[in-house]
Amino acid sequence: MLSKIRFFALILAALTLGMRFAHVMEAAPKLHWEAELYFQVQTSLYKYFAIVGPIVQIGSILLIFAIAYLSKGTKSFRYAILSAFSFIFSLGVWFFFVAPAASQIKEWTVTHSIPEHWNSIRSAWQFGQVGAFSFDLIAFCLLASSIISRANDKA
């Protein structure tokens, strides 16, 4: 049972990391785009990220907490619990920086106008994604360490 939970947690964590890594890889070019191009991409490309992303990331957190619960008293437990909290911190960064920017960008489609301070909104979205990715990468590494350390656990 635990091995299946680890397998699915690893898959969901990898998908979470992959989605966030895509945002990091596109950040540098997007920081040089004009407002109209940025607007077109932001309001059309990320529809499925918003649908799939939360399911995948919350699913990975829940499975990692299950790993931690089932691994109490082992080295694997420590890595798993730290992994889960790192994914939670990633969500915190997303809610604090990316979500407000995304909300403002979504408003552009309603008003059909891009505000004068759109650069600051773009920066919050892009750099928020980079910050969230950092926690996701740490979380993934900790999860992998949890799984690898299991081979050395006595329990």
DSSP string, 30-80: HTTS-HHHHHHHHTTTTHHHHHHHHHHHHHHHHHHHHHHHHTTTSHHHHHH
pLDDT score recorded for residue 155: 46
What b-and-e string marks burial along 22-45, b requiring 16 or more CB atoms within 10 Å of the CB?
ebbeebeebeeeeeeebbeebeee
How many residues are listed for the chain in this entry?
155
Query: Could you read off the pLDDT of 120-151 as tens digits, one per residue?
Result: 999 999 999 999 999 999 999 999 999 998 66
pLDDT score recorded for residue 152: 60
Report how far residue 5's alpha carbon sits from residue 104's, in angstroms, rounded to the nearest whole number.
Answer: 38
- The CB density around residue 72, as the number of other CB atoms within 10 Å, is 11
Q: Any idea where the domains of the chain sit in the sequence? A: 1-153
Q: Per-residue pLDDT averaged across 103-112, rounded? A: 85
Query: Could you read off the pLDDT of 34-67 as tens digits, one per residue?
Result: 998 998 888 888 888 889 999 999 999 999 999 9
